Amino acid sequence: MAIWWVNQGDTFDQEQAAGILWAPKVDRNGRRKSHWNTMIEVRPGDNVIHYASKVIALSVVTAAAVDSLRPDDLSENWDQDGRLIRTAYRQATRPVLLEEIPQQWRTGHSSPGGPFNFKGGVNQGYLFRLDDDFGDRFMHQFDDRFADMPIVLPAEANDSATNLLRRLLGEEITTVTGRRNRILAVQPPNVRVATDQSPDGQLVPIADLQAALTTLRTQSSVTIHPNDVGYRSAFIGAVLLTLPGVELRQGTPPIIAVRPPDAPAAVEHDRESFSYEGDLDRPVTATQRGEQARLRRLLFRLDTVAKCALCGDTLPVRFLVAAHIKVRSLCTDEERRDLAHIAMPACQFGCDALYETGYISVDQDGKILAATSESNDLLATRLSNLAGRACLSFTEESRHYFEWHYLNRFRR
């Protein structure tokens, strides 16, 4: 786990409010800066010391750097193309002045290209790695000046319960007691859930899952019991357990909790467990999609290139998939055999994934609908380019499949 020093100045308020660090890739002259390139070295669980004339916050990194356009409320003096890191801030109850940090800590800082000059002052630049000695001493000396460690939730837990359920459509999830549940439909205000006892599914209020998510966000744990999360508590617990970064705490009743960012994984592995002495290849028995090859032949025939039904780009067919308009696992046998209308060509350069995850759908006029992106980034640009286009696979015969996707999958 590394410790970083970030100089934020006028950008602190905006970056803290968004829970991010952001830096451009190059300056206006196209030159790269080492204190911006350090963004790609940051890892989840790393700690950050935030400096703006004084140390005013600490944070723990929750997601590594991704390419991102400059957030709208940051200075336009920088290039638009940059990198963004997600981090959970801990505001200082009493800021740490530079002169309070012993000068020998600063002048003795051993990391090359660190945040301090030979006199112990702060170097110009954005993000610098600190050596372990400085980081450990700073935390020991000043940690009590900062708010308690924030609840660090996985990104999926910050989404709505409805969108979380849409991602799980057609999948089998398991309750803490080992019972199987399967999500058949997500149409607010309810989700339809199948069990071994009710294979056709029963309705569960989405509001119950939303309340459990809210409890997890605000209190870092939730008790899986009907008195706490509703009468389908086992199903709600099964959904929550699909979130990364949460753990099951056995008990009666069981509790699902957010794992602290610096906590070890639930299962510790020794060095020997990372080697494997068994056969690398072994025979398996698997179920194949019998219609898949014929579906591709129907969509692409003998063509070497074809158009993506969503973006309209003409591409070699090896970069196109036969994408089911309705989730295949939830299709009836009759629908799976409707090869002429159940699938469409979708490219592997984003369209297939955007449709599969519900960021785009198709309306009753055959036009592409785009969900609202969480931020002004490359995703937003891609969605904007697709919105309003005519879907090339929309017909009267495929209309009801697209309607199913819109009702159950689209992130409205």
Comparing CA positions, the residue from 193, 46, 306, 330 lying closest to residue 21 is 46
Answer whether residue 197 shows pLDDT above 90: yes
HEC per residue, the chain: CCEEEEECHHHHHHHHHHCEEEEECCCCCCCCCHHHHHHHHCCCCCEEEEECCCEEEEEEEEEEEEEEECCCCCCCCCCCEEEEEEEEEEEEEEEECHHHCCHHHHHCCCCCCCCECCCCCECCCCEEEECHHHHHHHHHHHHHHECCCCCCCCHHHHCCHHHHHHHCCCCEEECCCCCEEEEEEEECCEEEEEECCCCCCEEEEHHHHHHHHHHHHHHCEEECCHHHHCCCHHHHHHHHCCCCCEEEECCCCCEEEECCCCCCCCCCCCHHHHCCCCCCCCCCCCCCCCCHHHHHHHHHCCCCEEECCCCCCEEEHHHEEEEECCCHHHCCHHHHCCCCCCEEEEECCCHHHHHHCCCEEECCCCEEEECCCCCCCHHHHHHHHHCCCECCCCCCCCHHHHHHHHHHCCCC
Answer whether residue 157 shows pLDDT above 80: no
* Residue indicated by tokens 């957010």: 258
- How far apart, in whole angstroms, are the C-alpha atoms of residue 108 and residue 118? 8
Q: At 80, is the pLDDT very low, low, confident or very high (cuts 50, 70, 90)?
A: confident
Q: For residue 298, list its beta bridge partners.
A: none
- How far apart, in whole angstroms, are the C-alpha atoms of residue 410 and residue 354? 10
Write the single-letter amino acid at 354.
Answer: L
Answer whether residue 4 shows pLDDT above 70: yes
Lowest mean pLDDT among 5-9, 214-218, 383-387, 391-395: 214-218
| pLDDT at position 293 | 81
Structure-model confidence comparison of residues 360 and 283, the more confident one: 360
Lowest mean pLDDT among 53-67, 179-193, 303-317: 53-67
Q: Per mean pLDDT, which of 112-116, 158-162, 338-342, 376-380 is the most reliable?
A: 338-342
Answer whether residue 6 shows pLDDT above 50: yes
Lowest mean pLDDT among 18-32, 165-179, 397-411: 18-32
Lowest mean pLDDT among 55-64, 209-218, 308-317, 369-378: 369-378
Q: At 169, is the pLDDT very low, low, confident or very high (cuts 50, 70, 90)?
A: very high
| pLDDT at position 263 | 56
Structure-model confidence comparison of residues 354 and 160, the more confident one: 354
Structure-model confidence comparison of residues 16 and 28, the more confident one: 16
Answer whether residue 267 shows pLDDT above 60: no
Comparing CA positions, the residue from 9, 38, 15, 32 lying closest to residue 127 is 38
- How far apart, in whole angstroms, are the C-alpha atoms of residue 402 and residue 342? 9
| pLDDT at position 271 | 38
State mean pLDDT over 142-147: 90
State mean pLDDT over 371-381: 77
- How far apart, in whole angstroms, are the C-alpha atoms of residue 222 and residue 211? 10
The residue ranges of every structural domain in the chain are: 3-145, 155-258, 292-408
Instruction: Give percent above pLDDT 90 in the chain.
Output: 58
- pLDDT for 272-310, tens place per residue? 444 445 555 656 554 456 677 888 889 998 889 999 999
- How far apart, in whole angstroms, are the C-alpha atoms of residue 365 and residue 158? 32
Question: pLDDT averaged over the chain?
Answer: 87
> What separation in angstroms does the CA of 240 have from each of 172, 176, 261?
14, 11, 18
Q: Do residues 258 and 216 lie in contact, with contact meaning Cβ atoms separated by under 8 Å?
A: yes
- How far apart, in whole angstroms, are the C-alpha atoms of residue 71 and residue 36? 16
State mean pLDDT over 392-405: 97
Comparing CA positions, the residue from 145, 113, 118, 121 lying closest to residue 49 is 145
| pLDDT at position 219 | 78
Q: At 251, is the pLDDT very low, low, confident or very high (cuts 50, 70, 90)?
A: confident
Query: CATH number of the domain at 3-145, out of 3.40.50.300, 3.10.590.10, 3.40.50.980, 3.40.50.2300?
Result: 3.10.590.10
Lowest mean pLDDT among 158-162, 260-264, 330-334: 260-264
Q: Do residues 39 and 23 lie in contact, with contact meaning Cβ atoms separated by under 8 Å?
A: yes
> What separation in angstroms does the CA of 334 have from each of 136, 325, 331, 337?
64, 14, 8, 5
Q: With the CA atoms of 301, 305, 306 and 307 taken in that order, what torsion angle do they form, in degrees rounded to the nearest 10?
A: 180
Assigned token pair, 61 = 């990194």
| pLDDT at position 10 | 84
Answer whether residue 381 shows pLDDT above 70: yes
| pLDDT at position 284 | 52
